[in-house]
A = this chain, B = another copy of it.
Amino acid sequence: MAGGGAAASALSSPWRALLQRALDANAHLKHSTFFQLATVSGGGRPANRTVVFRGFLEHCDKIQINTDARSNKISEIKEWPLGEICWYFTDSWEQFRISGIIDVIDGSSLDPAKLQLREKAWFASSVKSRSQYLGPCPGLPVANDDHIKDVHVDASAGPVDAYCLLTLDPEKVDYVNLKSNQRLMFRRAQEGDESSDWMAEKVSP
């Protein structure tokens, strides 16, 4: 299956059509945009957590995820930037396992284009969603319940320090449909080449 050039690739990546169909078929479920992101933390320990799909970057297949720059996973991913998404659609019984390299884009990035992506993703989030980055540092012990104060977010203000955009650049997509009992394996022909084509193979489920 061929795509030509970055823009065509983004439009023609063969698994994208399957994923869009699954998103449409499960759109009535709030959790249809939730998936589990696995990474490897210190000492080679697997780490796994639910995150929210924030769409693709324009003109490519990179998957956007919002996260808190103060969470453990940020330093872990900077150290070892491999990830595998497991995205199970509960109504259509489809699973996408999407593995690739994760880019951490926090406020310390020196790349103006990346900082612009981060700002764009910040403003694409709801004001309520942005307010969580003004709360206490995730994972720290709390002594009592009165630590959660109402925080005010200025809707026109840019991203706060704690806001971090992750992008995962897919290299392999393992798709299985448990209703039709079909499984397809997609591999990017050349790793690291954004404009490369994808190979698809039918494998046993």
A-side residues, CB < 8 A to B, are 29-31, 34, 36-40, 44-50, 80, 82-86, 88, 90, 95, 97, 99, 135-142, 147-148, 181, 183, 185, 201-205
Number of copies of this chain in the oligomer? 2
Q: Could you tell me the distance between the alpha carbons of A148 and B202 in the complex, rounded to whole angstroms? A: 13
Note all chain B residues with C-beta closer than 8 A to A84. 38, 45-48
For the residues of A in contact with B, the DSSP-based class is strand
- A132 to B, closest residue via Cβ: B205
Contact A44 B82 (CB under 8 A): yes
Contact A97 B139, beta carbon cutoff 8 Å: no
User: B residues within 8 A CB of A30?
Assistant: 90
Contacting pair A142 B88 (CB below 8 A): no
Pairwise interchain contact A38-B31, C-beta atoms closer than 8 A: no
Contacting pair B95 A204 (CB below 8 A): no
Closest to A90 in B: B31
What chain B residues lie within 8 Å of A183 (beta carbons)?
A: 139
* Contact between chains at B36 and A88 (CB < 8 Å): yes
Residues of B with C-beta under 8 A to A82: 44-46
Inter-chain contact A46/B40, CB cutoff 8 Å: yes
Contact yes or no, B48 A86, CB < 8 A = yes
How near does chain B come to A94, taking the closest CB pair, in angstroms? 10
Given A29-B90, A83-B46, A86-B50: A204 and B38 interface contact (C-beta under 8 Å)? no
Evaluate contact between A44 and B80: CB separation under 8 angstroms.
yes
**Residue in B34, B48, B138, B139 whose beta carbon sits within 8 Å of that of A48 in the complex:** B48
